[in-house]
Structure 1
């Protein structure tokens, strides 16, 4: 077995470390609902210059990030170090003064890499985030996480002022910063990358820590939360009060905020950490009156004047379910202790595509009508189910003894509100006309049914799957989750699939990861010939990995999926 030769060498296990960080980044993005793929690479800058070695090294060296991206040189870093504003800082602590030169070095490198990446990628709609530099074997090494700018436009940060300076924060930004801290900690180890994961926290732990950090943001001018208010809100949301679920609102504000209109002020503030007392008070914080809460204490009940500066608030809408808001905008949504980015349960484009592919004769107007119907159903705050069936009129007659057949009536918000209050299913046709309510569906059980899901979900599976007629079910559970049966896989581009297969076939061992991961995620769409080509490429990379002595990931070989058809392909 011959050793692997790395031209741009930083440290022995640089490849393993980068892969570990990238896998964790992808897991975090998936967990919080960030619909984009992050990319991770390492940059090392020699300072001072090392004879016979590159001034700049990048891992992976055959990736899409060339050394020419960086204008930074050891000489330019030396100039930046001498001119750094922290050179004029003097600390009373002796150890801090001793650490100052090295801390400036790390800051200078971090800032230089970030500046070069912004210059190269901002115009291409990519945002770069850089960890604090760490000295390793003559190089200052940083970890870079890149993600598309469109993701930050979809989940924009909120602005605030801290210590007289403008700042911004979001849950997404906090997650990326938490990932970079994990990478920086891994680089501090004696042999970074040697051990799998190097003690990285799980994606779940990183997301929760990021949510906690985000909730500490000084949204209230001049104040910062030092307690873990994310965990405190979770604890409050878990409790019931005399058998009722927690629903109510807390406005985050300073006790003396001039915009506050107190209806009732507590003689002594109640601490948020006093969970049972806080939960009891929450019972009164509903409608247009809310609890007035700081980062540590509850001050009373009241309202806040509407003006050009939106307030921050926490909306408890069910047991273990709450939103953190800025004005009317949701910044963070938490369900059962798990923080996620706020987003629709299904996007308009995905919904319309799914509806029109199932009901081929339905036009845009019918599909848009049902998009509105679904929004009404989700606003009911109760469990319910609606089935759209092309044979709805016939089924209403067949199931007459298992429901209430009505005169064909267009679905309206009022009809949906009344019909969803009783057990059973609302049955309508693709044009939005209701034929029956309170229907008990039938159908044979199949392998898609599962005891881990509720009766509504399994009933929808049985009814939809056993029919030759086209049917679509919307299943809303009591906790507000949505299942659409069936929810067809998105269509993918034929040309894009073919391009990625060709890229994989022509890739090197260091550059094959991106096309491989793309195809693994989309293996459902490949035909028999394409599966054969991908498997041949994977066999080649496995052989090269063994030859180079690398740790390799065993990929299940591709085979055509019998459920795949041309309906899943786009031009």
Structure 2
């Protein structure tokens, strides 16, 4: 059965290339500077290896562990510290990991595994001071904030609340954790995404000899901007109208299907807040949301979480697909 399904998928690949209008591309939401982000590189690698049996959060945590060797040694301790309260306050403060000499040196080093003690010390940091940790996981003292600019070979960690922290390596913001969910540092400029969308519309119009009205283009543009602002990411798939109907029928067991209709961008944003893809056609009509795109027709469960890459979506049926 599996061989038959794979054969069908590969046999139809050329048709699907033509019928898949656009799927928002993960890379479109990053600045050019972040295209070589080590977390992004590891994330894609882990995704390709593990999309079938791991979810977004699991892959994100593994990618974070792998993107820097020094960070790998202490990342579990960082997670624990970020979840530790001090006098009922969530964790806030800053760590600097590197080989630098402290400006205020402790007489005895403190092991980062002394989580409660480290959490207490973090209460003194953030404005003028930063806690200095060497690559062996030993807290050596403080650096003054004013003295860390331009330092290379360091990891800067800022705690932002319960199980939430951000990470910079040599000044490059590489990822954030929010309640143990790894997030990319998004580019707030929508220009790249919108240009890609318009290019895809032009290509579709040329291939299908069909003119897309300015009204529809503006509607799709508004939807793309709205969905791209989802904090936890989202998947938006825009298909040829006939193909959209066929795909929804095929994936009916793992979707929440609605009567095809035009829905405003703020409502699409709300629908994209749960796991699974929002399916639109080229005319901007919404057909389904929360769609787990498994790639083969089977009786699935629309309540389960999105497996990153949406299973066979990104590797087979929709060659250009990836999460927004």
Give the TM-score normalised by structure 1.
Answer: 0.32
1:146-225 correspondence to structure 2 within 5 Å: 149-151=27-29, 153=31, 156=34, 169-182=37-50, 200-214=53-67, 217-218=68-69, 224-225=70-71
Question: How far 1:251 moved relative to its partner?
Answer: 1.0
The SS at the match of 1:331 is strand
1:343 aligns with 2:183: no
Q: Whole-Å Cα distance in 2 between the matches of residues 246 and 498 of structure 1?
A: 41
Partner of 1:301: 142
**Residues 98-130 of structure 1: CA deviation (Å, up to 9, x unaligned):** xxxxxxxxxxxxxxxxxxxxxxxxxxxx9xxxx
Contact 2:57 2:180 in 1 (8 A): no
Q: Using a 3 Å threshold, how does the CA distance of structure 1 residues 157 and 292 change in structure 2: closer, same or farther?
A: farther
CA gap of 1:242–1:513, structure 2 versus 1, over 3 A, is same
Does the CA contact (< 8 Å) of 1:500 and 1:518 recur in 2?
Answer: no
User: 1:317 maps to which residue?
Assistant: 160
Aligned pairs for 1:436-475 (under 5 A) are none
- Matched-pair contact (CA < 8 Å) for 2:154–2:170: yes
Q: Aligned pair 1:289/2:129, yes or no?
A: yes
| In 2: Cα distance, 1:232 partner to 1:316 partner | 13
User: 2:26 & 2:89 partners in 1: Cα distance?
Assistant: 43
**TM-aligned CA distance change 1:148 to 1:313, over 3 Å:** closer
8 Å CA contact retained: 2:77, 2:112: yes
1:525 aligns to 2:253 (yes or no):
no
* Aligned alpha-carbon RMSD (Å): 4.8
Q: CA deviation at 1:333?
A: 1.2
Structure index of larger Rg: 1
CA shift digits 1:480-537 (9 cap, x unpaired):
xxxxxxxxxx93279xx997114457x7x9xx989xx9997995527xxx99xxxxxx
**Whole-angstrom CA distance in 2 between matches of 1:182 and 1:280:** 38
Aligned CA distance change for structure 1 residues 172 and 273 (closer, same or farther; 3 Å): same
Deviation, 1:59, is: 4.8
Work out which structure has the larger RCO, using CA pairs closer than 8 Å and 6 or more positions apart in sequence.
2
CA distance in 1, matches of 2:43, 2:184: 11
Name stretches of at least 5 consecutive residues in structure 2 with no aligned partner. Answer: 17-22, 192-217, 223-236, 264-279, 282-295, 303-324
Counterparts of residues 457-536 of structure 1 (less than 5 Å): 491-492=219-220, 500-504=240-244, 523-525=260-262
Deviation at 1:210, TM superposition (A): 2.1
2:250, 2:297 within 8 Å by CA — same for their partners in 1?
Answer: no
Secondary structure of the equivalent of 1:491?
A: helix
Q: Are residues 1:63 and 2:10 paired?
A: no
Please say if residues 270 and 297 of structure 1, whose CA atoms lie closer than 8 Å, have aligned partners that are also in contact: yes
1:251 matches 2:96: yes
Following superposition, the deviation at residue 338 of structure 1 comes to 1.7
Which residue of 1 is the match for residue 113 of structure 2?
A: 273
Which consecutive residues of structure 1, in runs of 5 or more, have no partner in the other structure?
1-11, 19-56, 67-125, 127-145, 159-168, 184-196, 219-223, 350-489, 532-549, 557-571
Change (3 A) 1:236 1:305: closer
